[in-house]
Amino acid sequence: MTATSAADGVELVLSSREGMERVAMACAAAFAKLAGLPAARIEDLKTAVAESASNAVAHGNRDRQNARVRVSFRLRYGAVEAAVTDEGDGIDREVPEFDIEQIVEGKQAPGGIGLFLMRRLADILSFERLEGGGHTVRIIVKGC
């Protein structure tokens, strides 16, 4: 794991291992606190980043031990922008939208909850396949 800071942010390079999402989450909390985000929004950012980092390890990097997950944070117009990049190709299949009614009726196993939460906790969520390989999820959480 390495960390670097730039004039307006910080970047972590994490090994692709289960549990590393907690490191990303702790960094998100510290950065968002410095940025002055309210407590509730810090929690939203922490969860969105942790879920994205978990997905990066499990699905993006497919648990490859030598792969890396890059997580960066920067301030943009009073909001915190996090970017989580893995070495995969992005979502190559349609992820079924989580639907509690389908779960309650026993028609669907609980899945897709991480993505569901990310979409609702972040103010802006975007996905980008990178030229040359890799995939980035951008999460923006505003202060108010």
Partner 1 sequence: MPQDKIEISVEILEKTAVLYLRGDLTFAAEPRLTEAYARAHGEGVRCVLFSFKENAYIDSGGIAALLQVLVKVRERGQKAALANVSAHNRKMLNMVGVTRLADIYDTPERALADIDNWK
Please report, as ranges, the residues that interact with partner 1 according to CB under 8 A. Answer: 17-22, 40, 43-44, 47, 50-51, 54, 98, 100-101, 103-104, 106, 109-111, 113-114, 116-117, 120-121
Closest contact distance (angstroms) between CB of 133 and partner 1 is: 26
Closer Cβ to partner 1, 29 or 75, answer by number? 29
Nearer to partner 1 among residue 51 and residue 81 (C-beta) = 51
The minimum distance between CB 19 and partner 1, in angstroms, equals: 3
Residue 24's Cβ-count burial label (10 Å; 0-12, 13-18, 19+) is: buried
* Shortest distance in whole angstroms from residue 63 CB to partner 1: 13
Q: Which is nearer to partner 1, 9 or 46 (CB)?
A: 46
**Cβ neighbour number for residue 77 with a 10 Å cutoff:** 8
